[in-house]
């Protein structure tokens, strides 16, 4: 076993160094910059609309019936001023309980409905309590209150108008939409990374086949070792890539003011630390699962042309896994979600998203064990196919399939 690992390390080391110490790697490493530039330009506008137009948000007024009726009427009048996409969230009226302050606090803390701002305390002692992401809604509530009371004063009694006292509170728990967003983000990032990085393994053998080094490798070490070494060499490249960008993002976040509040809304159910750790583990699993399949498939190709042809179905396969896992993330706890969490090739993505919304840790332990089992199965089968594909003389695997389809006969692996 030690010998196996030592030799796999020789191959992994070679692949890692040959990939990393090239000018092309710098291009590869910096490629996400282009994406970021476009995403920033396109994203800013979209975000402005999305912020206020989020339909799952609500604002609440805790008031007695008469004031509530007046506020409601004023709300209808003011709301008409806003075009639909930027209208404030809908208002709900609640009857005051014994302690409206605590009531308001409880509303914002509530995880099942996303309430971003609450007005309470009546005409005499108005307060607005709002979540960090509910500042606009708080402004709206303030304006609504002032307009209502001013109209009232003009109509009947004089006296000073009390200005609502504003207070922002940190949510101790994250919101549903925030968590789902975290889940989707994790899912998307994992997908993007595996799409970028696992796909590389398809063509990794082309080099050795082209310059005949495969002869040396095949003679010196079992092809299973070559397979393992190549997979892990590129995994090292992938980890380097991920830690580079992970480091930059973490550094960027630490420089931004006030990130604590924004992050609190996204706080995954199992906590940031475990979530991040799990995301890294799931990235590893996803990479190894898909990478092993692609490496094995790539080894069947006999030319660069065939490899180029292969990259399309491979991208589609990854897209399908992404689609499957995101459908699961959109409906946590559903049968679809369970299916995506169980199916080996979508499991890492689906489970990463699950970590955002479900606080239980044991499903992750089970999923990781399950995925490790599948990583071993995939590597074992992949290595065998790889062995056949690499040393075979005679028509390629794909040519044999073509022949088989045309004539309805012939063997798959001549």
Partner 1 sequence: MQPAPALSANGLVKYFGDKRAVDHVDILVPQGSIYGILGPNGAGKTTTLRMLLGIIDPDEGHRELLGTARPRSVGDRVGYLPEERGLYPGMKAREAIAFMGALRGLDWKTGRERADVMLEAAGLGASAYEKIKKLSKGMAQFVQLLGSIVHRPDLIVLDEPFSGLDPVNQGRLEDIILAERDRGATVLFSTHIMGHAERLCDRLAIIAGGKRRYEGSVDEARATLPMQAHYEPREDGGALAAKLPADAVRDNGGYRFAVPEGGMEALLQQLLDSGHGIAGLSLERPSLHDVFVALVGEETVERMEADSDAEQSA
The answer to whether the beta carbons of residues 205 and 390 sit under 8 Å apart is: yes
The answer to whether the beta carbons of residues 131 and 116 sit under 8 Å apart is: yes
Tell me the CA end-to-end span of the chain in Å, nearest whole number: 31
DSSP string covering 208-219, please?
HHHHTHHHHHHH
Phi, psi of 22 (to 5 degrees): -135, 150
Q: Considering the complex, what minimum distance in angstroms separates the CB of residue 25 from partner 1?
A: 13
Cβ partners under 8 Å of residue 28, min gap 6: 241
Short-list 249, 237, 244, CA closest to 198: 237
Give the DSSP letter of residue 87.
P
Q: Considering the complex, what minimum distance in angstroms separates the CB of residue 395 from partner 1?
A: 9
Q: Which of 55, 157, 393, 408 binds partner 1 (CB under 8 A)?
A: 393
Q: Considering the complex, what minimum distance in angstroms separates the CB of residue 240 from partner 1?
A: 19
40 binds partner 1 (CB under 8 A): no
Compose the 180-209 pattern: x for residues touching partner 1 by CB under 8 A, - for all others: ---------------------------xx-
Residue 156 or 211: the one with the smaller Cβ distance to partner 1 is 211
- Can you say whether the dihedral through the CA atoms of 306, 307, 309, 313 is positive or negative? positive
Residue 32 or 395: the one with the smaller Cβ distance to partner 1 is 395
Which residues inside 209-268 make contact with partner 1, applying CB under 8 A? 211-222
380 binds partner 1 (CB under 8 A): no
Residue 33 or 220: the one with the smaller Cβ distance to partner 1 is 220
The answer to whether the beta carbons of residues 388 and 377 sit under 8 Å apart is: no
Q: Considering the complex, what minimum distance in angstroms separates the CB of residue 30 from partner 1?
A: 22
299 binds partner 1 (CB under 8 A): no
Which residues inside 87-106 make contact with partner 1, applying CB under 8 A? none
Query: 203: phi > 0 → left, psi -120 to 50 → alpha, else beta; which?
Result: alpha
The upper half-sphere exposure of residue 315, i.e. CA atoms within 13 Å in the direction of its Cβ, equals: 8
How many CB atoms are closer than 10 A to CB 23? 6
414 binds partner 1 (CB under 8 A): yes
> What is the rounded CA–CA span in Å between residue 240 and residue 17?
12
> What is the rounded CA–CA span in Å between residue 34 and residue 301?
32
3 binds partner 1 (CB under 8 A): yes
304 binds partner 1 (CB under 8 A): no
14 binds partner 1 (CB under 8 A): yes
Q: Considering the complex, what minimum distance in angstroms separates the CB of residue 387 from partner 1?
A: 9
7 binds partner 1 (CB under 8 A): yes
18 binds partner 1 (CB under 8 A): yes
Residue 117 or 226: the one with the smaller Cβ distance to partner 1 is 226
Residue 352 or 383: the one with the smaller Cβ distance to partner 1 is 383
How many CB atoms are closer than 10 A to CB 410? 15
Residue 8 or 116: the one with the smaller Cβ distance to partner 1 is 8
Q: Which residues of the chain form contacts with partner 1 (CB under 8 A)?
A: 3, 6-7, 10-11, 14, 18, 207-208, 211-222, 391, 393-394, 414
């Amino acid at each position: 076993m030690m010998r196996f690992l030592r030799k796999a390390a020789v191959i992994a080391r070679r692949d890692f160094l040959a990939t990393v110490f090239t000018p092309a790697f710098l291009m590869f490493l910096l490629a996400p910059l282009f994406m970021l530039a476009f995403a920033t330009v396109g994203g800013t506008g979209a975000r402005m609309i999305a912020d206020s137009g989020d339909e799952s948000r609500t604002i609440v007024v805790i008031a007695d019936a008469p004031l509530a009726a007046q506020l409601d009427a004023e709300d209808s009048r003011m709301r008409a001023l806003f075009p639909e996409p930027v209208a404030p969230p809908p208002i709900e009226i609640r009857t005051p309980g014994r302690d409206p302050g605590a009531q308001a606090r409880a509303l914002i803390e509530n995880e099942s409905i996303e309430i971003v701002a609450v007005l309470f305390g009546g005409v005499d002692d108005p307060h607005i309590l709002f979540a960090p992401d509910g500042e606009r809604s708080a402004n709206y509530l303030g304006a609504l209150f002032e307009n209502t009371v001013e109209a009232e004063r003009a109509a009947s009694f004089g006296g000073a108008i009390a200005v609502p006292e504003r207070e922002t509170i940190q949510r101790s728990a994250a919101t549903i939409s925030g968590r789902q967003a975290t889940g989707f983000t994790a899912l998307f990032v994992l997908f993007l990374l595996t799409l970028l990085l696992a796909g590389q393994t398809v063509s990794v053998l082309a080099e050795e086949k082209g310059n005949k080094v495969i002869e040396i490798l095949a003679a010196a070490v079992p092809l299973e070792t070559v397979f393992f070494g190549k997979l892990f060499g590129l995994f090292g490249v992938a980890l380097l890539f991920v830690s580079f960008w992970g480091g930059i993002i973490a550094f960027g976040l630490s420089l931004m003011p006030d990130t604590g509040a924004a992050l609190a809304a996204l706080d995954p159910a199992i906590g940031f630390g475990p979530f991040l750790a799990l995301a890294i583990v799931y990235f590893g699993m996803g990479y190894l699962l898909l990478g092993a399949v692609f490496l094995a498939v790539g080894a069947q190709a006999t030319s660069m042309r065939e490899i180029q042809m292969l990259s399309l179905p491979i991208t589609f396969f990854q897209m399908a896994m992404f689609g499957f896992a995101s459908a699961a993330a959109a409906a946590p706890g559903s049968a679809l979600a369970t299916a995506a969490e169980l199916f080996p090739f979508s499991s890492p993505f689906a489970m990463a998203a699950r970590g955002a919304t479900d606080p239980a840790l044991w499903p992750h332990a089970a999923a990781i064990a399950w995925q490790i089992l599948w990583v071993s199965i995939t590597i074992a089968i992949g290595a065998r196919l790889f062995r056949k594909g690499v040393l075979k003389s005679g028509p390629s695997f794909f040519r044999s399939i073509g022949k088989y389809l045309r004539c309805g006969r012939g063997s798959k692996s001549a």
